[in-house]
Structure 1
Amino acid sequence: MEATPSTVPDEPQKVVRSTAAHSDLGSTLGDAIPIVRALLPKVPLIAKTALCHTLGVSEHSKHWDLRTEVAINVLRSFIDGSTKPSPISKTQKMLNKDPGVKGRLWVATAGLKRPAEYDIRKALCEAIEQMKEPGAQPGGYTIPELQDVEAEWTGYRAGATKSSAPPRIPEAEKYKEMMREVSSPVTILYFHGGAFYLMDPSSHRPTTKKLAKITKGRVLSVRYRLAPQNPFPAALLDALVAYLNLLYPGPGSFHDAVEPKNIVFGGDSAGANLCLVLLQTLLQFRRTGLKLLWNGSEREIPLPAGVSLNSAWCDVTLSSPSCDHNGSYDYLPVPSVQLSRTPPPCAAWPTTPPRTHLYAEDALLMHPLVSPIVAPTWAGSPPLFVECGTELLTDENHYLATKASGEGIVVVFEEYATMPHCFGMLLEHIPGSKRMFQGWTDFISSVVLNPGSVQTKGTRIAAKSLVEEQVDLRSLSSFTEEEVRARMQERVKEMTQGRRDVAKL
């Protein structure tokens, strides 16, 4: 169903829900064989990287240790255009597997119930229309089904070992056991990255466990619907349902109502995009004075205590100059390579009718709830934590930090020199990753426990020495809104000519 102001429904649509199977595969030999097969052709690359790094002649030997350079070069080789792309559905099947739960963490899978009414979906559709450019055509997207959302409660399990299996008890009992170890009111609503079509809360358990451990709180990691099977705004609707469930849980919920002052949004890459567009949706609700009917009661929708972002993907068109200039520091392919890689057809892609981008329809790529870099204002926002490296997405994170802080929003910005996209989650062995998680969790804990202590600050951290340099957020980005929009318009034009896909990150 295509959305127009007159067709925003009050009743459910009869649509087929797309689900993904998740199974605990364990560390079996069968799982290891594909990995070995994939790495064998990379042996010459690994050897060359090691030799050049040891001799000090590689570009990054002064910035990275050997392990980092090997990891980045090998990862880049899988997605830089030198290998044939796989069908979307095959890539999803390979990367969206559940590796199982093991070690020092609690994981309790919870079903977050959709409300009895359809106000929340109607309100989202109205916000999408209200936030379009003046004169833009109505609709242009498929209204998603309003459905239950699955999520994982994650906490640190101090008494376990690295090899401990979870106890064989009901999920509700796991949640109770987890809460016995939670000593802080911090509740992180987490959205995983993966270009909106890959990954899962299960793939991000190492990250959510670490956030829970350091903050001494708990994390609710959302299993939102993935594209291309479920394009925008399905994931955003799931995010709204998850947040409202935290605030106003229904019967059968594991948790009691969580005060908004104890909730912090968190996410990486595409998940950080979801944090921002969820925030923009809430801000739009507040601008219009909206209250929602939620399970029989009229509810206000308050803002969280803060929003924390790791390598946020703010521009799905990848139009910023750093998307080209920072390619040597990142494992993500530059846009020209992405545009040239067309995956073979499969059941998931291309869609009917066709579109250019895996996540959103062509007409919405510059919508503020798809690419939050073009959000006209951040006025009224809670404090933001913005972290990035020297990556493809650096410029858009700079622009976000400058724009929001310029509007009086508290922004804590950290940039890690020469580090790639989401480096702290990928390169756990380097000191910079520990420093990144410390900065991230310091912000989260502070906005909950001592919000008055959080002040606008910009810091650039050196790669190996971790020497810190203060930066002025007012001059971090010199881009004007007009320049940003002009680049995006040019990139959309380039993308839509020939209808090539550009899904990455």
Structure 2
Amino acid sequence: MKVFPHFTTGIISNSDDRVPSVLSSLGLNISSKRHGPAAGPEMDRRNGAFNIDFVAMSYDVGFSKPAPEIFNAALHLSGQEVLAETQLIHVGDDIEQDYHGRTSTCDKWDLRTELIIKFLRSVLSAPSPRGALAQQRSTLVDPGIKGRIWISKVTFPPPPEVHSALDLLCKAIDQLKEDYAAIYEVPATLPVEAEWTGFRPNVDAQRQRSDLSEQQHYEKLQADVQNPLTILYFHGGAYIMMDPATHREPVSKLCRLTGGRALNVRYRLVPQNPFPAALLDALIAYLSLLHPPPGSYHELVDPSHIVLAGDSAGGHLSISLIQLLLQINRDSVRNSRASFDFHGSKISLPLPLPAGSASASPWLDMTHCMPSEFSNGQYDYLPPPLTKERVSKWPADTIWPTKPPRGDLFCNTNLLNHPLVSPAGAKDWTGAPPIWMGYGTEMLVDGGKQVASRMAKQGVKVQWEQWEAMCHCFGMVLLQTDMSRHFFKDWAEAIKGMTGLDLASGARTFDGVQTKAVLFGIHASKETGKETRLSLETLAVMSDEEADARMKSAVQARKDNPKLAEQVTPKL
């Protein structure tokens, strides 16, 4: 039986210094800024990520009203009012219902899981008093570098050639689009920042970063790397928020588990830089591994040692980059194009593909039309898809809505089902390298199922891993749980299997990826991780033709109601 402290939890965001004293007068236990309740370090991280200033918990104080009403009443009695910037979140009643067996998750989640997921759900679903820019900036704060991690910050210069990576990208976009009227903003080719990341052994968690040059940090990192594996990592955050700095911990964990290193890319964010800016940055980062620009710390990397990886939007970028490389190569064969210029060198076509792609909860359907968007909300913290009845508004600011208005933060509306925007609609994956995808029973899972099934039917080696009753990116959200440890172990094993590297010798010994799909069972008080084998060929929830038609219909609906997209708050 779960231990349940009877409490009402209120989350107070962006409040002023009057609030703690007022709440304390009610007997509420106030945790200070940036610190959370007993859920542990996971909650601390969430508070920081979403700019939560205070977490208030009341223990048997005799109130039956929801927490927001308590806090409003308390401020009113004190002669004060809740500020417009204050955000009140309440999750206590939901947890109490679960404890008494009145929810569908009561036999799947423990109390900590309940608290974290429902806290995130409340934060992400509530209308935010802040605009897009303020929310974006709150996730771009560098927490600093310390402990068991090597970081070397690098900047890859843009290729000076006019006919280079940008031309390859734009040609691929134009060739793949079905709506020839669909337009996009051609991005500038800019420097690409990234962080070389590695695991630093034999130091404690509080060890401060040494005062060395970035190149010296890279050399230290290289000295601790056990094999030539390189993970090209793209962080999540719905393309609007987060940064390599927010993902140092999970990326360094993958480095520790694989014995390799990672290049964690700082791609451009939306809405300031719409599609295909981030994809151009990803392409330049990949080419820079294969052909180091002048001034690079690294030597050229064998593509068979490179694995693309990411979470959520970063997983999308990883899969989209695979489709882009396939299209560039298809075109080079059709048109007998032999090379292109990159930093003064002739790069041969077709381009070599990476060893594979391994992603956590990749977001592969930007039309949000798949059934799981509606059916799996009970297990997830993501906000529900757009409906005319439910529209969350962001206060207008300098970056959103755009001028002239754009139908979606990521791209123009008529591009939402483009294969490089929504890979769930990509028709040809022939020749793709091995793919690993890990999901929970989450709202985005059906988009992944469509892609995995279509890939497998076209001969691609696919490994599919899904966890019962788990949320989006659960391995990164529910750290220190058995599920998270199991998930990271499988993720790392897949990456190592794609490269076929023997950790002792560094030699390429085998093609270690076999097509498979598994569902892992979950129970709050019983053994977790029981496997059920699935069929990749029948994994998709609908036929390819039905999925394509459904996505087109969703795009048309967005076109018919353009104001809806301008108002929505997309938080993943």
TM-score (norm 1): 0.90
What RMSD in Å do the two structures reach over aligned CA positions?
1.9
The within-5 A match list for 1:46-65 is: 46-65=91-110
Aligned partner (choices 439, 442, 456) of residue 515 of structure 2: 456
Distance between the aligned counterparts of 2:372 and 2:161, measured in 1? 44
| Stretch of structure 1 that moved more, 67-76 or 457-466 | 457-466
2:34–2:53 CA contact under 8 A, matched in 1: no
The Cα offsets for residues 426-463 of structure 1, whole Å up to 9 and x where unpaired, read as: 00122111111111110101111254221101111012
| Stretch of structure 1 that moved more, 219-228 or 299-308 | 299-308
2:81 paired residue number: none
1:37 paired residue number: 54
2:449–2:541 CA contact under 8 A, matched in 1: no
Task: State yes or no: 1:255 paired with 2:298.
Answer: yes
Distance between the aligned counterparts of 2:562 and 2:173, measured in 1? 27
1:427–1:433 CA contact under 8 A, matched in 2: yes
Aligned partner (choices 406, 409, 413) of residue 358 of structure 1: 409
1:279 CA drift (Å): 0.8
Distance between the aligned counterparts of 1:147 and 1:177, measured in 2? 28
Task: State yes or no: 1:504 paired with 2:571.
Answer: yes
Q: Give the secondary-structure state (helix, strand or coil) at the position aligned to 2:151.
A: strand
Aligned partner (choices 165, 173, 177) of residue 120 of structure 1: 165
| Stretch of structure 1 that moved more, 191-200 or 46-55 | 46-55
| Stretch of structure 1 that moved more, 285-294 or 385-394 | 285-294
1:37 CA drift (Å): 3.0
1:191–1:275 CA contact under 8 A, matched in 2: yes
1:102 paired residue number: 146
Give unpaired runs (5+ residues) of structure 2: 1-31, 36-46, 58-66, 69-87, 502-508
1:295 CA drift (Å): 1.5
1:265–1:304 CA contact under 8 A, matched in 2: yes
Distance between the aligned counterparts of 1:35 and 1:179, measured in 2? 37
Q: 1:478 to 1:331 in 2, by over 3 A?
A: closer
Query: Which one scores higher on RCO, CA 8 angstroms, separation ≥ 6?
Result: 1
Task: State yes or no: 1:467 paired with 2:484.
Answer: no
Distance between the aligned counterparts of 1:326 and 1:39, measured in 2? 29
1:111 paired residue number: 155
Task: State yes or no: 1:488 paired with 2:538.
Answer: no
1:50 CA drift (Å): 4.5
1:394 CA drift (Å): 1.1
The within-5 A match list for 1:266-415 is: 266-289=309-332, 290=337, 291-300=339-348, 301-336=351-386, 340-415=391-466
The Cα offsets for residues 263-321 of structure 1, whole Å up to 9 and x where unpaired, read as: 00001111111111111111011101253211222113210000111111111111101
Distance between the aligned counterparts of 1:343 and 1:50, measured in 2? 28
Q: Percent identity?
A: 39
The within-5 A match list for 1:149-298 is: 149-289=192-332, 290=337, 291-298=339-346
| Stretch of structure 1 that moved more, 488-497 or 241-250 | 488-497
| Stretch of structure 1 that moved more, 38-47 or 147-156 | 38-47
The Cα offsets for residues 212-252 of structure 1, whole Å up to 9 and x where unpaired, read as: 00001001000000000000110000001100110000221
Larger radius of gyration: 2
Distance between the aligned counterparts of 2:226 and 2:514, measured in 1? 25
The Cα offsets for residues 18-54 of structure 1, whole Å up to 9 and x where unpaired, read as: xxxxxxxxxxx87669634366657994543443344
Distance between the aligned counterparts of 2:128 and 2:232, measured in 1? 36
1:460–1:471 CA contact under 8 A, matched in 2: yes
Distance between the aligned counterparts of 1:472 and 1:264, measured in 2? 25
2:379–2:469 CA contact under 8 A, matched in 1: yes
1:326 CA drift (Å): 0.4
1:357 CA drift (Å): 0.8
Distance between the aligned counterparts of 2:97 and 2:564, measured in 1? 36
Q: 1:30 to 1:393 in 2, by over 3 A?
A: closer
| Stretch of structure 1 that moved more, 482-491 or 108-117 | 482-491
2:183–2:412 CA contact under 8 A, matched in 1: yes
Q: 1:46 to 1:30 in 2, by over 3 A?
A: closer
Give unpaired runs (5+ residues) of structure 1: 1-28
State the one-letter code of the partner of 2:174.
Answer: E
The Cα offsets for residues 46-100 of structure 1, whole Å up to 9 and x where unpaired, read as: 543443344343331210111000111111011224x445310010111221111
Q: Give the secondary-structure state (helix, strand or coil) at the position aligned to 1:206.
A: helix
- Paired positions, count: 474
Q: Give the secondary-structure state (helix, strand or coil) at the position aligned to 1:78.
A: helix
Q: Give the secondary-structure state (helix, strand or coil) at the position aligned to 1:473.
A: coil
